A and B are shown apart, each in its own frame.
Chain A
Amino acid sequence: MRHGTTRRLLVAFGAVALIAGACSGGTSGSGKSVTVIGTWGGDEQKNFLAMVAPWEQSTGNKVKYTGTRDINTVLTTGVASGVLPDLAGLPGPGQMAEFSKAGALKPLDAVLDVATYKAETAPALVALGTVNGKLSGVFIKAAVKGLIWYNPALHDYSASPPKTWDELKTQAVANKGNAAAIWCLRLGSGAASGWPGTDWIEDLVLRQAGPDVYNSWWAGKTKWTSPEIKTAFQTYLTDVVANIKDPTEAVDPTKDFSGGGDPLFANPPGCEVFHQASFITGLGAFKGKKAGTDYNFFPFPDVNTQFSGAVEGAGDLFGMFHDTPEAQSLMKYLVTAPAQDIWVKAGGALSANKNAKSYPDDISKRSADLLTSAKSFVFDASDLMPKAMNDAFWTAMLKVTKDPSSLDSVLADLDKTQTTAYAS
């Protein structure tokens, strides 16, 4: 009896082995499809699929979309093993350059109508997608960082928005009303917890020390302990963190940044002003509110007027790993104004394409104008840093926000990471 069981088990094992073999032999049939991997889920995924629907209709091809929050892992292992989607969202310009140098990313110069693309897109974004003179990635979606959101019911800043940091500080104190605190702040974001804090430091560095220091900083050439960077941290700690309701809540892992602005709408308000990127309107309590009447924003004020007009932004890069005719056709379609119009009409997204104009409300239109008309445009510094540096920056923000007295040791640790992170 026992022997029989063992034998049957063996047969079962063999069967499993052979099923695996048989499955891999299946062919995908004749319908042409393009595999796409991106970080979008939920509403964003729905909007993306709506965006590609006209292309599917006109060409008869199909888009097979998979959404993952772990795109970095998927693509890093994919580049090593060669199993890659046709098109994919890229984690950031740094990784894009690595994938491009490894030969995995196909250049887009021959695929897109480059002249039109360059004419329609902000030069800074074109430059960020270019590696060694070859266009390797395009911004399919963009965001403006460092907008200051408020609830007009408490105080309407739209008549005279603060022009300088000092003005903002005095106006915020004067108009605090019955709000529990001046600033709203939440840094939780799952595995990326801390990033909303990095945006703060970036906005301050950009406006205190200017784009040159900003660029040398993310490139690893300015030390974290240098006066320019340390000042930004100190401003953040004394002007912002000292004026929030509760630092413990701000860094708590159970609190997600997407709900960071919710206290704006509470009664009495939990806080008065909220620093977050343009995409916050698609998240948290913003989603159910009316743009303009329930919430509004003013741009991050100047700190040093010498650097007036500098804007920080971010975006989702898209690249091509297989240059099949279908993938090329889809890529070409995605950056066009009609395709981008579908994206922006749904709200929450800005287009890198200047000719995409179907913004659903005045707020999105104003933030899109900031993006396309910026005197100097810089990309999110932490996204440009090597992954190890970026990760240490995120963790550092949690540490200093919780315990401002740790600033010196945190900056020294970041310097240590800087010496190793840029090596490879």
Chain B
Amino acid sequence: MDERLGTALAVVIGVPGVLVGYIYLTELVLRFAPDRRRSAIRPWLWLLPALLFLFAFLIFPTILTILRSFQGAVAGAWVGLENYSWFFGSPDALISLRNSLMWVVFLTLFTVGLGLLIAVLVDRVRYESIAKSVIFVPLAISMTAAAVIWRFMFDYQSAGSAQTGTLNGILSAFGLGPISFLQVETLGLNTIFLVIVMAWMWTGFAMVILSAALKGISTELLEAARVDGATEWKVFRFIVFPLLLPTIAVVSTTIVITALKAFDIVYVMTNGNFGTQVIASQMIKESFIFGNFGHGSALAVILLLAIIPVMGVNISRFRAQEALR
């Protein structure tokens, strides 16, 4: 018998079996509990497997990482805050912090701004679903594939040769360039070019959610405003935009977290060379290339600290929205 067949049988029959068995077991255990407590205990027993997994794969490793960040390159040697003082004294690490902040600011600005613009515009065209699909598709592409695609966009040939890169091709049609986009370190412009790749992917996400929220605004409200003589701009500025604000906040926080986690695009396109490194790429480099898990863990903790406030905002927004329903 093919061993894959055995695995398939185990999954198809075994999993529901174990599941029912577990529920049966919890009911057996519950028999020992007093009647009125049962309904209070049952959810916890049902939650237990999930909580165990959450602890084993999320909370426990987080605690270990925090502890590790106070140890040196060799595990177990406590060095206090040395890894953190290294971070703030190393030019490479500080550039990665600057770049991560640039990612947060520009990615949010680009995706939410463009997403909102497109959502509002396509709301008025006949082929809305086609237009939205086209813009949404890049999100389905893997980051690595997107980075490879954009390498063709940013492709550089020395002056005088035919420019095969899309952007340099356009520039040369106007007699400009060529520009090596990924090497422009002035003002961290090359980081912004990397952000554009990510924005190309995530604009569709912002657009879809904002567009859904837009559909939720009652047309009577807008009609009433128009009847009262409001211009289209005023309708948008004073009615649509305030009503969209909670959704914009949720989308923004999601994008901010995505920006802080950015790694793949930097890794594939420049590997952090030419001053494009971000915190996540430095973390991988320190941990796995330099073998210094102390530095790597400190970077991970800094990234975590940066994400926590954003997550907090996101959760409280989410709660507020849930309460409204």
CB-based contact B156/A18 at 8 Å: no
Q: How far is the CA of A23 from the CA of B18 in the complex (A)?
A: 12
B199 at the interface (CB under 8 A from A): no
Contacts of A11 in B (CB 8 A): 19, 23, 46
Contacts of B291 in A (CB 8 A): 76, 387-388, 424
Contact partner of A398 (CB less than 8 A), chosen from B19, B161, B274, B292, is B274
CB-based contact B3/A29 at 8 Å: yes
CB-based contact B158/A245 at 8 Å: yes
Interface SS of chain B: helix
Q: How far is the CA of A424 from the CA of B19 in the complex (A)?
A: 49
A9-49 with Cβ < 8 A to chain B: 10-11, 13-15, 17-23, 25-29, 31
Interface SS of chain A: helix
Q: How far is the CA of A391 from the CA of B11 in the complex (A)?
A: 45
A230-260 with Cβ < 8 A to chain B: 245-246, 248-249, 251-255
CB-based contact A193/B14 at 8 Å: no
CB-based contact A22/B11 at 8 Å: yes
Closest to B8 in A: A26
Q: How far is the CA of A295 from the CA of B191 in the complex (A)?
A: 40
CB-based contact B49/A253 at 8 Å: no
| Tally of contact residues, B, Cβ under 8 A | 47
A17-B53, A19-B15, A388-B289 are contacts. A254–B155 as well, Cβ < 8 Å? yes
B187 at the interface (CB under 8 A from A): no
CB-based contact A424/B271 at 8 Å: no
Q: How far is the CA of A194 from the CA of B274 in the complex (A)?
A: 12
A18-B19, A23-B7, A26-B7 are contacts. A248–B180 as well, Cβ < 8 Å? yes
CB-based contact A387/B289 at 8 Å: yes
B50 at the interface (CB under 8 A from A): yes
Q: How far is the CA of A249 from the CA of B165 in the complex (A)?
A: 13
Contacts of A402 in B (CB 8 A): 183
B157-193 with Cβ < 8 A to chain A: 157-159, 161, 165, 180, 182-183
Closest to B48 in A: A14
Task: State how many angstroms separate the Cβ of B14 from the closest Cβ of chain A.
Answer: 5
Contacts of A192 in B (CB 8 A): 271
Task: State how many angstroms separate the Cβ of A42 from the closest Cβ of chain B.
Answer: 15
B11-66 with Cβ < 8 A to chain A: 11, 14-16, 18-19, 22-23, 43, 46-47, 49-50, 52-53
A358 at the interface (CB under 8 A from B): no
CB-based contact A22/B183 at 8 Å: no
B111-167 with Cβ < 8 A to chain A: 151-152, 154-159, 161, 165
A70-87 with Cβ < 8 A to chain B: 72-73, 76-77
B308 at the interface (CB under 8 A from A): no
Q: How far is the CA of A388 from the CA of B23 in the complex (A)?
A: 52
Contacts of B317 in A (CB 8 A): none
Q: How far is the CA of A10 from the CA of B49 in the complex (A)?
A: 10
A190 at the interface (CB under 8 A from B): yes
B238 at the interface (CB under 8 A from A): no
CB-based contact A424/B74 at 8 Å: yes
B 70-93 to A, binary, CB cutoff 8 A, 1 in contact else 0: 000110000000000000000000
CB-based contact A72/B289 at 8 Å: yes
B202 at the interface (CB under 8 A from A): no
CB-based contact B274/A253 at 8 Å: yes
- Supply 7 A–B pairs (Cβ within 8 Å), ascending by A: A10-B50, A17-B49, A191-B267, A252-B182, A387-B289, A387-B291, A388-B289
